[in-house]
Amino acid sequence: MDVHEMMLGMGRQALDASRDLVLCNARKKNVMLEEMAEALEARRREITDANNIDIEAAKAAGLASSLVDRLTLNSARLDSMIAGVRDVAALKDPVGDVISRWIRPNGLEIVKQRVPIGVLGIIYESRPNVTVDAAVLCLKTSNAVILRGGKESAHTNAILADILIESGKRKGMPEHAIQLIRTPDHEAVRELVQLEGLVDLVIPRGGEALIRAVTEHARVPVIKHYKGVCHTYVDESANLAMALAIAENAKCQRPGVCNAMETLLIHEAIAPAFLPAFAARVEPRGVLLRGDTAARAILPAMQVATEQDWYEEYLDLRLAVRIVSSVREAVAHINTYGSHHSDAIVTESEAAQKIFMQEVDSATVYVNASTRFTDGCEFGMGAEIGISTDKLHARGPMGLEELTTYKYLVQGKGQIRG
Amino acid sequence: MDVHEMMLGMGRQALDASRDLVLCNARKKNVMLEEMAEALEARRREITDANNIDIEAAKAAGLASSLVDRLTLNSARLDSMIAGVRDVAALKDPVGDVISRWIRPNGLEIVKQRVPIGVLGIIYESRPNVTVDAAVLCLKTSNAVILRGGKESAHTNAILADILIESGKRKGMPEHAIQLIRTPDHEAVRELVQLEGLVDLVIPRGGEALIRAVTEHARVPVIKHYKGVCHTYVDESANLAMALAIAENAKCQRPGVCNAMETLLIHEAIAPAFLPAFAARVEPRGVLLRGDTAARAILPAMQVATEQDWYEEYLDLRLAVRIVSSVREAVAHINTYGSHHSDAIVTESEAAQKIFMQEVDSATVYVNASTRFTDGCEFGMGAEIGISTDKLHARGPMGLEELTTYKYLVQGKGQIRG
């Protein structure tokens, strides 16, 4: 069967499943989720065996150790993945919630109600736990899902999907509520994102190449979960001790994630005091600073930052540093070079706060806190399918509500339009 | 200058304007809108002259009279267009509204606030009043807009845009808050929908060819305002008099619009009573019925409906009729052939209502009312940019709120992640 036919078939089956999922109430879906958690627990050995095949293949292919680490499902990560399924079961199901309700002068009652989106496609890279996370979040919200993981974790993804599908079906999950694209063919992604009328939304989670491959061919809506080029701006009025702690945390607490700081902007008035103290604090932790001319005038040992550095998502301990002469210059830098993810100002000035909050065009804007808090759990959503760097439908952390849409239910008593 | 460079320039200017629009408060925007209404009033003669050029050209080109009518801005339509500008000025500005606000256990205060989307592209067909409607709704919500109207109304669109831009700028509107693509080149639309990083959303309003041209090439988010293949389902338990009035209204009150009924579904148990009474009521008004075999068994004079009829948006007095044997068969028909716009059930049965409301996958689902109510004004939104047949971001009538997105503003006191 060719890839086009295969994907069309998966799309149609997903649509059928989505119609059945609308009929599954919260209790029934939670029974499926509990069964999945138990099945994953019971079949840990199979998961580990499959994961070892992927790990060996990755090592044999000479993949970087950071990549091998990302696809490794050790015992602690398995525990956390299984606990995550139970956490999702425990969350409140948003489907059916009334967002608003009003009555028109002609007596029509309009109810805006949360409903599932329908069929989602989730495209992700090497972390195999996303197979489980994405599948259970979609099931919880009565969406059918077509998953496409990275080829490096193909064996792990396959066994995880098998376990979810088999256990879910034992408790009445519709046959094709969860599907995994099992061919490594790139063509499959292209076909998936062109399934107009079958797939309602595609969420790509990953780097530039993945996002480009998706948006270039997409004819269905896409919400990008793209890189995080996050900034911390230390204003002239910042509390120095607070600024040092926030900037250190934003850079060092977990440098490999999308909400870590990649560029530090410092007001010229505070830079002579702040920058040497900051360097003294983070360089022992391995941070490598790259500065513009003004920053290097203060710390000449710093590497030179080029224009390209301002766009860079290092995901490691490198940090670009730029001196600015005003909050508006910081805002302009962030809006020009950033990825509209998460950006912070450290300041004691209400005026500077206000400008920064209003004018920074990012999903999450912080005042006097670390950008590391951009996360569904930290926001109190309980779980997230990812963090949207787009503006439409969902922006920032996407939890269960963001996996729903709404419809208007209009109740009449025979009203006609005059 | 080539079209690519031209559109890139327009996109960059729109982005710059959108940054300035964020700084315009509601009062300032309303002053601009009032000035626009006055300028349109003062320059009616110029508008009519330009419109006459378009009308003459359309007639000379042999366009259908319905198309000539659509592009005609007579005095009453001009009045209504100008009143519309003042109506929008009078609406509440949603920008800055707090959608929700909560405090996390660590003391972080999270505020989810409405903000403008940024830069919108609106692509529409022959009705020139859309130039004004779309521009003022975007300005009201602090979005920059790039407009692209139908070539048949090019002269009218040009003078309307000139008036809006000149009058808005007199009251401090940013230079490129409103732009009109003035080249008839199809290439311009293709370039517009590929302006990633500059254009945040494109809304195509129109028929199948327009929508296809947009989605085929789009790399930016699109919300489609597509056709309305709307259904009324007369359930076996329907109140006969109510069903007759609703079905007549849905078909006849204004057949040329997207929320008018195109297909009538009738339960087999009520069809022998309903169908002849309905035909007797609407045939004198010019309605032409096309039925399936079962419908024609009741009214043999009816034309034959083919498979293609179920997909058809007639926009005139033709009506497809199908007999079904259950509410679920009606739902399946609607989900298969409909355009997910507006669909109604007429029933006295709570069970049938519930099935219909839950399972019909459309933006607006009616119980015992005419589909003709799907409209921003009828919903109480005050105005609409159109009616989304998509599910993401906005579904159904799109008013001012749907022209906004949100961002998270997180206020801390030095919090870092542990």
A3-226+389-411: CATH homologous superfamily? Aldehyde Dehydrogenase; Chain A, domain 1 (3.40.605.10)
**A238 in Cβ contact with A346 (< 8 Å):** yes
Q: Which of A316-330, A399-413, B60-74 comes out lowest in average pLDDT?
A: B60-74
**Tokens matching residue B165:** 């831009």
| Look-up of token digits 């629009």 | B21
Residue B213 CA neighbour count, 13 Å, CB half = 19
Q: What is the pTM of this model?
A: 0.94
Query: What is the ipTM metric for this complex?
Result: 0.94
Q: Give the span between the Cα atoms of A16 and A135, in whole angstroms.
A: 17
Identity at A403, one-letter amino acid code: L
- Place B101 in a pLDDT band, splitting at 50, 70 and 90: very high
Interface of B with A in 364-383 (CB under 8 A): 364-370, 372-374, 378-380
Beta bridge partners of A316: none
Q: Looking at residues B112-141, what average pLDDT do you find? A: 96
**B67 in Cβ contact with B152 (< 8 Å):** yes
| A180: three-class secondary structure by DSSP | strand
- Is B407 close to A239, i.e. CB distance below 8 A? no
Q: Looking at residues A388-396, what average pLDDT do you find? A: 95
Q: Does the pLDDT of residue B383 top 90, yes or no?
A: no
The H or E element spanning position B313 is: none
- Convert the pLDDT of each residue in A76-128 to its tens digit: 999 999 999 999 999 999 999 999 999 999 999 999 999 999 999 999 988 89
Predicted pLDDT of residue B77: 95
Q: In terms of DSSP bridges, do strands B109-116 and B404-415 run parallel, antiparallel, or are they unpaired? A: antiparallel
Task: Nearest by CB to B221, from A19, A249, A390: name it.
Answer: A390
Q: Looking at residues A376-404, what average pLDDT do you find? A: 94
**A233 in Cβ contact with A327 (< 8 Å):** yes
Q: Give the span between the Cα atoms of B340 and A404, in whole angstroms.
A: 16
Task: Nearest by CB to A201, from B196, B380, B392: name it.
Answer: B392
User: Is the minimum CB–CB distance between A226 and chain B shorter than 8 Å?
Assistant: no
A392 chain-B contacts, CB cut-off 8 A:
117, 200-201, 221, 223, 392-393, 405
Residue B396 CA neighbour count, 13 Å, CB half = 30
A403: closest chain B residue by CA: B392
Assigned fold of B230-373: Aldehyde Dehydrogenase; Chain A, domain 2 (3.40.309)
Predicted pLDDT of residue A126: 80
Q: Looking at residues A49-63, what average pLDDT do you find? A: 97
B201: closest chain A residue by CA: A392
- Convert the pLDDT of each residue in B248-295 to its tens digit: 999 999 999 999 999 999 999 999 999 999 999 999 999 999 999 999
Torsion over CA of B16, B22, B25 and B30, rounded to 10 degrees? 50
Predicted pLDDT of residue A88: 96
Q: Looking at residues A238-265, what average pLDDT do you find? A: 97
Task: Report long-range pairs for A27-31 (Cβ below 8 Å, ≥24 apart).
Answer: A28/A171, A28/A172, A29/A93, A29/A139, A29/A140, A29/A142, A30/A89, A31/A171, A31/A172
- Convert the pLDDT of each residue in A336-389 to its tens digit: 999 999 999 999 999 999 999 999 999 999 999 999 999 999 999 988 899 999
| A184: three-class secondary structure by DSSP | coil
Contacts of B188 (CB under 8 A, 6+ apart): B3, B6, B7, B148, B181
Starting at the edge strand that comes first in sequence, how are the strands of the sheet with A404-415 ordered? A98-103, A109-116, A404-415, B364-369, B342-346, B230-234, B261-267, B318-324, B288-291, B303-304
Give the domain ranges of chain A.
Answer: 3-226+389-411, 230-373
**B13 in Cβ contact with B174 (< 8 Å):** no
Q: Give the span between the Cα atoms of A132 and B372, in whole angstroms.
A: 44
Q: Looking at residues B114-121, what average pLDDT do you find? A: 98
User: Is the minimum CB–CB distance between A62 and chain B shorter than 8 Å?
Assistant: no
Predicted pLDDT of residue A407: 98
Contacts of B397 (CB under 8 A, 6+ apart): B374, B375, B376, B379, B381, B384, B386, B387, B388
Nearest-Cα distance to chain A for B45, in Å, is 33
A396 chain-B contacts, CB cut-off 8 A:
407-408
- Place A212 in a pLDDT band, splitting at 50, 70 and 90: confident
Rounded to a whole number of angstroms, the distance between the first and last alpha carbons of chain B is 55
Q: Does the pLDDT of residue B79 top 80, yes or no?
A: yes
- Is B393 close to A396, i.e. CB distance below 8 A? no
- Convert the pLDDT of each residue in B20-48 to its tens digit: 999 999 999 999 999 999 999 999 999 99
Predicted pLDDT of residue B213: 86
Nearest CA to B74 out of B158, B180, B156 is that of B156
- Is A221 close to B390, i.e. CB distance below 8 A? yes
- Place B169 in a pLDDT band, splitting at 50, 70 and 90: very high
Predicted pLDDT of residue A334: 98
Beta bridge partners of B192: none
| Look-up of token digits 């992927």 | A54
Q: Looking at residues A294-299, what average pLDDT do you find? A: 98
**DSSP character at residue A245:** H
DSSP assignment string, B160-218: HHHHHHHHHHHTT--TTSEEE-----HHHHHHHTT-TTT--EEEEES-HHHHHHHHHH-
Burial class (CB within 10 angstroms; exposed 0-12, middle 13-18, buried 19+) of B98: exposed
**DSSP character at residue B93:** P
- Please report, for chain A, how many H helices and E strands are present, in that order: 14, 16
| Look-up of token digits 């199901």 | A93
Q: Give the span between the Cα atoms of B45 and B128, in whole angstroms.
A: 16
Predicted pLDDT of residue B24: 96
User: Is the minimum CB–CB distance between A74 and chain B shorter than 8 Å?
Assistant: no
Q: Give the span between the Cα atoms of A148 and A184, in whole angstroms.
A: 9
Predicted pLDDT of residue B255: 93
User: Is the minimum CB–CB distance between A19 and chain B shorter than 8 Å?
Assistant: yes
Predicted pLDDT of residue A198: 97
Q: Looking at residues A57-74, what average pLDDT do you find? A: 93
Task: Nearest by CB to B216, from A219, A253, A378: name it.
Answer: A219
**A177 in Cβ contact with A147 (< 8 Å):** no
Interface of A with B in 170-199 (CB under 8 A): 196
Predicted pLDDT of residue A226: 85
User: Is the minimum CB–CB distance between A245 and chain B shorter than 8 Å?
Assistant: yes
Predicted pLDDT of residue B185: 85
User: Is the minimum CB–CB distance between A349 and chain B shorter than 8 Å?
Assistant: no
Q: Does the pLDDT of residue B197 top 90, yes or no?
A: yes
- Place B320 in a pLDDT band, splitting at 50, 70 and 90: very high
Q: Give the span between the Cα atoms of A82 and A47, in whole angstroms.
A: 12
Contacts of A404 (CB under 8 A, 6+ apart): A94, A95, A114, A115, A116, A117, A141
What's the alpha-carbon Rg for chain A, to the nearest Å? Answer: 24
- Place B184 in a pLDDT band, splitting at 50, 70 and 90: confident
Burial class (CB within 10 angstroms; exposed 0-12, middle 13-18, buried 19+) of A61: exposed
Average pLDDT, chain A: 96
**Tokens matching residue A40:** 């994953």
A200: closest chain B residue by CA: B391
